[in-house]
Chains A and B, each alone.
Chain A
Amino acid sequence: MEQTKPFYDLCIPYQKDEKALREIIKEAISLGYKTIAIDQVYDHSKRDTTKRVPDIFPAPVTLKQLEEEFKSDVKILRRLTIIYLDVGVAHAMSNSQNLKKFNLIAGQPKTDAALTHCCTTFGGDLVTFDTEAGVKLLVNRKAYQIGVKRGLYFEIKYGPAIRDTNIRKDMIKLAHNYCVRGKSKNLIFSSGATNPFELRGPYDVANLAFIFGLSEDQGKNAVNKACRQLFLRAESRRIGKTIMFVKASGPIIFTDTSESEEEHGDSFREEISSEESEIDSQEQPSKKKIKIL
């Protein structure tokens, strides 16, 4: 599976101004983050219903220059947050090609029905909440349990909470709701910071677990292990059930097998890595048997 290193910050909102974005990424690196996700927002409820377009979801923005620049320091993922009102979004999601280009997909429900749908049948990986309008929706126990069983993760943003008293109160309310309903399982912390000053170091974020009602371990996991799990889940959603996958990192050249392989050895390099899944562990014994026979 693809390597990612701790610590994780899975929500840095995308800004048109590349200079500001670069500042934020630089600050994140200096604080010790190794994996970050650039977040784009798509509002499904505001879409133009009169026009028919083949793919309603936007394609990920190109950040080639930034990716090149910080290649050695940080891994940049893409994330799409879908704001929606009703279950109609599920159909659009099922046959969209652009969605597969994103590493992570988050849902931001606006109504109670949407929230229940988000936890039970939504095709994304992450449930997030609107911070600006105040938390009016709270997860009920059943939906939360189903969400946890399906491997969904729930997000708490600390960046806006530092900025504003009301948002802080709402975020604490939200976090304690998770605590009451199901022992704060499957929670991750992310920044949602729009300027470098709002970012905090990973240990600071883990310490915030105290006011959000998580235990010390859960707090640390919320910036480390849980994010890795989320990434693995998202990856398996993207490429389906797999045992291994091959990724070419160069131009692919098809050659005759009779020719010597050394000629093309430099231009074609493949990375084979096996996915850390249950299927893998089940498959291995049988492979060994074949070899012995």
Chain B
Amino acid sequence: MVRIKNRYIVVRIVPQEPTKVLNFHDGVLTKCVLRNVKKYQGDYGLGIVEHGFRVKYCNERTKVAIIRCLHRSHRIVASTLPLITMIGDVRAKFHTLYTGATIIQCNKFIISHQQRFLDEMVGQIASAKERKDFIKRVMEFDLEQ
């Protein structure tokens, strides 16, 4: 059996003005990346990238997202990400955290990354209930398959 190889890129979205919550969903990210691939790599690049491209996960609190693309086309996507300066209608940039071959590895990485994020953020929240709520919201990790 031939296996189709994928690459999963874990990115963090860094807006220019720091905000608590981003109101992005997967569609906006997909459109933004594909539009920029077309801008910087032309029709050829878009043709290679478009098949198999998908945003798998997007957390609004921690601003972490997973982008899936086919092996070989991931170099085009990865080299386009640093050139992006606008996401949707917000001035923001991508910060590549990790590139993995399976989503499980990405999952492991994100969990450790989010724990670090929680350590920073929990100290700023006063009430216990809010804190519990916040931790739950951040750590929930369900992939819309």
Give the interface of A toward B (CB within 8 A). 31, 158, 162, 168, 197, 200-201, 203-205, 207-211, 216
Q: What count of chain B residues pass the 8 Å CB interface test?
A: 17
Interface membership of B91, Cβ < 8 A = yes
B93 and A200 within 8 A (CB): yes
Q: Determine how close the nearest CB of chain B comes to the CB of A244; give it in whole angstroms.
A: 39
Per-residue A-contact encoding for B83-111, CB less than 8 Å = 1, 0 else: 10100000101111101000000000000
Q: Knowing A162-B83, A162-B85 are in contact, say whether A197-B78 is a contact too (CB < 8 A).
A: no
Which of chain A's residues have a CB closer than 8 A to the CB of B16? 197
Q: Determine how close the nearest CB of chain B comes to the CB of A88; give it in whole angstroms.
A: 39
Interface membership of B35, Cβ < 8 A = no
Q: Knowing A197-B91, A201-B96 are in contact, say whether A210-B76 is a contact too (CB < 8 A).
A: yes
B95 and A210 within 8 A (CB): no
Q: Knowing A158-B82, A210-B75 are in contact, say whether A204-B96 is a contact too (CB < 8 A).
A: yes
Complex A-B: 28 CB contacts under 8 Å:
A158-B82, A162-B82, A162-B83, A162-B85, A168-B83, A197-B16, A197-B85, A197-B91, A197-B93, A200-B82, A201-B95, A203-B97, A204-B78, A204-B81, A204-B82, A204-B94, A204-B95, A204-B96, A205-B82, A207-B75, A207-B78, A207-B81, A207-B82, A208-B82, A210-B78, A210-B79, A211-B40, A216-B75
Complex-state Cα separation, A208 to B79, whole angstroms: 5
Which of chain B's residues have a CB closer than 8 A to the CB of A209? 79
Q: Determine how close the nearest CB of chain B comes to the CB of A220; give it in whole angstroms.
A: 12
Q: Determine how close the nearest CB of chain B comes to the CB of A122; give it in whole angstroms.
A: 31
Q: Determine how close the nearest CB of chain B comes to the CB of A283; give it in whole angstroms.
A: 43
Complex-state Cα separation, A233 to B91, whole angstroms: 40
